[in-house]
Chain A
Amino acid sequence: MGTPLTARIIEEHANAFRALPPAGPTAARRRTAIEALTASGLPTSRDENWKYANLRPLERLRFNPAPPAQPLTAADLPAAIPGFARYVFVDGAFAPALSAALHATAAALTPLAAAPDAGGAPAGVPAQTPDARASADERFALLNEAFATDGAAIRVAAHHDEPVRLELVFVASADAVTGASYPRVELRLDSQAQLLLIERHVSAGPHASFVNSAVTVDLGCGARLHHYRLQELAPRAIVFDTLCAVVGAEACYRLYGISTGAQSARSTLAVRLAGERADLMLAVVALGDRQQVQDTYARVEHAAPRARTEQVFRGISAGRARVAFNGKIVVGKDAPGTDSRQSLRGLLAGPEAELDVRPQLEIYTDEVRCSHGATAGKLDENMLFYLLSRGLEPGVAQRLLKWAFLEDVVAKIEVAELRRQIEERLALQVHEPLARAESA
């Protein structure tokens, strides 16, 4: 498609191509990705599932990878999480000097650019190219595939008694006028392997960075992954994120997304429950304020019998923000005995804020148990009056209820220090008191 945007991406890719490393995505994969993008273009707001995303910034940002960044120090990073090996990537490139406690897990993670076998998929991770033909949903992953210079290839074997603990910190430091940051994770858990993974996206400085991250997850039979994804970018950043996961038989995937940062954030989560009795818990918390856009599309496909999904969303939209969650569950014809639950709740915290919460269910087989609940509204007036009747200030009562609304999900995070950091950030964000209850 010959849109000016696509033409510019192709041109910037051609200019950057020579400078791109041969590893990470190989030259062949880069070419395939750019060809697929050429054919399909990036999504537009007319595409299904992209109605609420903010795509306008794409017109004015640059797609070539950001030039090497100014050196950072550990002080530029979030506090470390005890027990977790930390790998830091700055504008998409591995930064060994900032990384710590690698010895414990060195076998599990290979920086993509340093992969020994530059000709194929590194570290035994199978190349999982998103299927461009299937839908528009994963096309930003193609953009990552075309431009990414580095990333993390993670392979976890089964012979650990304790789960492996890894933290990936992706720091965006460049401004979008100089180039983009392409965080990339290719993750494979062998049969019965266990991993606790923290994936964190932060900024160094106030730049209006453009971040386009792509994560693939492949869970073998009986593997267990707890995956905590924190989007805490600076207030002017633009981020597009694509996660594609395949969950094997009896594997368990707990995916938490906490999105609080950036000017405009779009996260596309596509999870396929490919093996019998695969178990997924997908929980997203999104906070929007000022003129932020927080848009999440989560598609879960049940492709095998007796798999289980719990999909949870809690979002608060304040100021003139737009917060959207589109949660789709597709139960295929080969998925009898599916058990899926959706609990999607949004809170509208201002007269000019926008909130869109949409559960979708497509079922192509019998014998399934699928329930969904979706609400979008203001603070519960009965709860509010109860707190006021106990003497609490209206502002305090409202903050407390907003907090409680989120805590429902956050309390389930088992890594104590991580939970503390998340709670601290959420508490900061819900600090702004609302106007007095409308009915008072």
Chain B
Amino acid sequence: MTASRTPLLAINDLHVTVEGKQILNGLTLQVAAGEVHAIMGPNGSGKSTLAHVLAGRPGYQITAGTVSYEGRDLLALAPEERARQGVFLGFQYPVEIPGVNNVYLLKAAVNAVRKQRGLPEVDAFEFLGLVREKMRLMHIEDSFLSRGVNEGFSGGEKKRNEVLQMLVLEPQLAILDETDSGLDIDALKVVAAGVNSLRSPERACVLVTHYQRLLEYVVPDIVHVLVRGRIAKRGDRTLALELERRGYDWVTGEAA
């Protein structure tokens, strides 16, 4: 850990309610550039809420706490501003949008980031070349480009499409919300290869997951266990293995 520098993401004492119900309850977490963190936890512990709050989804009330990203107040930014600053959310349930084709969305997303950085729009031809290269890595067929966003995709295809978008956008901070759920072992390896290809000293990744299976392929630097809206335990990758052996009751019991 390069603790001397400002962390890329610093969450401090975060409290969040949804429709009056307390979901996050004093969560504190720091992620430095170059690190991969895994957030594990039983169902209902607040994992997805955390991912959504970081991306700026409406419907969550932040009642206390702060989140800073690159030293700035992340919560003050609109969702599209966060995306343009390099925050990416890989959805647990990617939305189907018939009538908007995949390549259009990819291009619009890339150009939004480039505009933010004062760069001109991408060259259409070069862009297609880049997308095709990433598509090969993600085992996605060419016909995908002209199809509607996630339209008629299987669960696995949708997840691979999320990772493809991430690879094309090259975010500083990627938050992947249960990207591994519902994947067979081959698809899991493809997704893991995609995530690993983006690992670098400048970027960080937060993997939200229920199972440790993904972590065999994307080895995390730190594992956090979320219970009732706060971090109940943290450790290295062996914590995930121990959880797998002993079950979540082990930590929920301890936290109670």
Contacts and interface: CB of A to CB of B under 8 A. Distances in A.
A439 B84 CA distance: 21
B105 A387 contact: yes
13 contacts: A380-B95, A389-B57, A389-B83, A389-B88, A390-B105, A390-B109, A390-B112, A391-B83, A403-B100, A405-B99, A407-B98, A408-B98, A440-B78
Interface string A371-382: 000000000111
Contact of B95 (A383, A393, A394, A439): A383
A46 to B, nearest CB: 39
B50 to A, nearest CB: 15
A388 interface: yes
A382 B91 CA distance: 11
Contacts of B79: 385, 388-389, 440
Contacts of B84: 391
Given A388-B80, A392-B112, A437-B58, 7 more contacts: A386-B95, A389-B80, A390-B105, A391-B108, A392-B109, A401-B100, A405-B99
Given A389-B89, A390-B83, A392-B80, A408 B99 contact: yes
Interface in A192-218: none
Interface of B: 55-59, 78-80, 82-84, 88-89, 91, 94-95, 97-100, 105, 108-109, 112-113, 116, 148-149, 165, 169
Contacts of A404: 97-100, 148
Interface in A421-440: 437, 439-440
A348 to B, nearest CB: 18
B127 to A, nearest CB: 15
Contacts of A397: 80
A403 B99 contact: yes
Nearest to A440: B58
Contacts of A394: 78, 80
A388 B59 contact: no
Contacts of A5: none
Q: Which of A391, A401, A405, A437 has the most CB of B within 10 A?
A: A391
A411 interface: yes
A391 to B, nearest CB: 3
B113 A391 contact: yes
B108 A411 contact: no
Q: Which of B55, B56, B99, B105 has the most CB of A within 10 A?
A: B99
Given A388-B78, A390-B83, A407 B99 contact: yes
A392 B100 CA distance: 13
A382 B95 contact: yes
A407 B79 CA distance: 26
Contacts of B82: 389
A396 interface: yes
B80 A386 contact: no
A439 B58 contact: yes
A196 B144 CA distance: 32
Interface of A: 380-383, 385-394, 396-397, 400-401, 403-408, 411, 437, 439-440
Contacts of B80: 388-389, 391-394, 397
Contacts of B169: 390-391
B83 A388 contact: yes
B228 to A, nearest CB: 26
Nearest to B59: A439
B98 A391 contact: no
A403 B82 CA distance: 25
A411 B95 CA distance: 21
A412 to B, nearest CB: 12
Given A401-B100, A437-B58, A439-B58, A392 B95 contact: no
A172 B156 CA distance: 54
Contact of B57 (A385, A390, A396): A385
Contact of B58 (A385, A387, A393, A411): A385
Given A388-B80, A391-B83, A393-B112, A381 B97 contact: no
Contact of B100 (A382, A388, A400, A437): A400
Nearest to B110: A391
Contact of B97 (A386, A389, A406): A386
Nearest 9 A-B pairs (CB), nearest first? Answer: A404-B99, A391-B112, A391-B83, A407-B99, A390-B109, A439-B58, A388-B79, A386-B95, A388-B80
B99 A389 contact: no
Contacts of A405: 99
A38 to B, nearest CB: 48
B33 to A, nearest CB: 20
Contact of B109 (A385, A391, A437, A440): A391
A382 B92 CA distance: 12
A437 B83 CA distance: 17
B99 A411 contact: yes
Nearest to A396: B108
A407 to B, nearest CB: 4
Contacts of A392: 80, 108-109, 112
A389 B78 CA distance: 9
Contacts of A389: 55-57, 79-80, 82-83, 88-89, 91
A403 B148 CA distance: 13
Contacts of A406: 99
A383 B100 CA distance: 11
A65 to B, nearest CB: 42
Contacts of B56: 388-389
Nearest to B113: A391
A393 B115 CA distance: 11
Q: Which of B59, B88, B91, B97 has the most CB of A within 10 A?
A: B97
A388 B94 CA distance: 13
A387 B83 CA distance: 10
Contact of A383 (B89, B97, B108): B97
Contacts of B89: 389
Contact of B94 (A386, A396, A437): A386
B47 to A, nearest CB: 17
A199 to B, nearest CB: 25
Contacts of A380: 95
